[in-house]
Copies of this chain bind each other. A is one copy, B any other.
Amino acid sequence: MTAQHREAGSTDASPALADPPAIAGVGMTAFTGTADRSLLDLLFVAAERALDDAERDPADVDSVHVGNMAAEAFNDRSGLANALAGGLGLIGATARRVENTSASGASAFQSAFEAVASGRSDLALAVGGEKMSSADTATATEIISRLTHDREYEQGVTLPSLGGLAAAAYLEEHGADRRDLARVAVKNHANALANEYAQFRKRIDVDDVLDSPPIASPLRLYDCCPTTDGAAAVVIASDPEDGGVIVTACESATGTHAVADRLDPLEIESVRTAGDRAYAAAGFGPDAVDLACIHDAFSVLEWLEMEELGLAPTGGAWRLTRDGETARDGSIPVNPGGGLKARGHPLGATGIAQVVELVWQLRGDVPDERSVGRARRGLAVNVAGFGNNAVCTLLEVDA
């Protein structure tokens, strides 16, 4: 890896796990702009695929953790966790929904991980999903914007506006140009081409990004993730299988809520803290990471988060993108499944879909044309809002 090494262990972390939880199975629905199934059906399909993959008796699942941001507002639906548990025949299991805006999926995964790691659960099911197409654009935009600070919201702060501010500051401060930024989206679209689960399987080039409609200067449409329908699921078990994937760490942290509280617009404190905690819990640092799924809701976020996680030196992530190091065949492949940009971003599903992608890559369960090759350790980071919260997960092939 080309990564700058950062000392791990400087922040609080959970005690190292003597018996790390194992990934027993994964599955997801195709991500799409408009699904022809209900939100609940999307969750069922993802859950059933993960349970099939797990080759365990589904009746042994003793806890259900559902990631979803806004079913009540988007889908006129409530009680997802209990409906899912009931529909799967898991009466008696514990069940809850975990919500953390755009990181709801990773928080649900974390809840399942914690249940197994603490010994409360032997077989936990984490399922995340969102059906955003059911809400009109005004409603979806409003609900998502209302995660920002009240007074800043009243003055017009939205997530794209924060993305635009950060992108402008990054380009100016670190000497990257606008075409460099476009290469993040170009790479993620290229990665999605062979991913049958991705929303966009369409190659784009730098000029396509620059010619797309402006959203929040300098960001354009193709710098931004779409609205998406989809679900993803993971089965976590207390007993690893030989050669299987284990969860080495899953840690989270809040960051500043108000823009006014940020010392530096290019810092995403939650990602740094969650990453440091995860590395400390895992006992290894960014140099040991072979591939990463990074929360690229806006192109510039891929750079900021890589830098916070020590996967690139501060101010240097753009060079890794330009030089192809973050491509599938580069030294640190980022978002090999297409990322939020091209695989899509069904809010509550994303954090779990990142884990699904890492598992497939670590197991070698993807076709050659989209494999990153032999990899032992993967990192996923899922971010709430523009850094209000972050969850960092480290997976490892048990070898």
Q: Which residues of A are interface residues toward B (Cβ below 8 A)?
A: 11-12, 14-15, 38, 40, 62, 64, 69-70, 72-74, 76-79, 81-83, 85-87, 90-101, 107, 110-111, 114-115, 117-120, 142-144, 146-150, 251-258, 261, 269, 273, 384-385, 388-389
Select which of B12, B87, B251 is within 8 A of A257 by beta carbon: B87
Contact across chains for B99 and A96 when beta carbons are under 8 A apart: yes
Instruction: Report the minimal beta-carbon distance from A326 to chain B, rounded to whole angstroms.
Output: 28
What is the bound-complex CA distance between A284 and B40, given in angstroms?
39
* Bound CA span A384–B81, Å: 11
Given contacts A149-B83, A257-B83, A269 and B91 within 8 Å (CB-CB) = yes
> Which chain B residue lies CB-closest to A86?
B257
CA distance A40 to B147 in the complex (A): 11
Q: Using A97-B99, A97-B100 as known contacts, say yes or no to A255 and B147 having CB atoms under 8 A apart.
A: no
Query: A92 and B273: CB pair below 8 A?
Result: yes
Given contacts A14-B120, A78-B101, A81-B389, 16 further A-B contacts (CB under 8 A): A70-B78, A73-B73, A76-B143, A78-B144, A82-B101, A82-B257, A82-B385, A83-B150, A87-B257, A91-B254, A92-B273, A93-B254, A96-B99, A96-B107, A96-B111, A114-B118
**Would you list the 3 A-B pairs with minimal beta carbon distance, nearest first?**
A86-B257, A79-B147, A72-B73
Whole-angstrom distance from the CB of A268 to the nearest CB of chain B? 12
The interface residues of chain B lying within 8 Å CB-to-CB of A11 are 92
- How many copies of this kind of chain does the complex include? 2
Q: Which residue of B lies closest to A64 (CB)?
A: B254
Among A83, A110, A254, residue most surrounded by chain B Cβ atoms (within 10 Å): A254
Supposing A72-B72, A76-B146 touch, asked if A384 and B82 sit within 8 A by C-beta, the answer is: yes
Give the contacting residue for A94; candidates B78, B94, B147, B253; CB below 8 A. Answer: B253
One of B77, B94, B251 near A254 (C-beta < 8 A): B94
Which residues of B are found within 8 Å of A81, using beta-carbon distances?
A: 99-100, 389
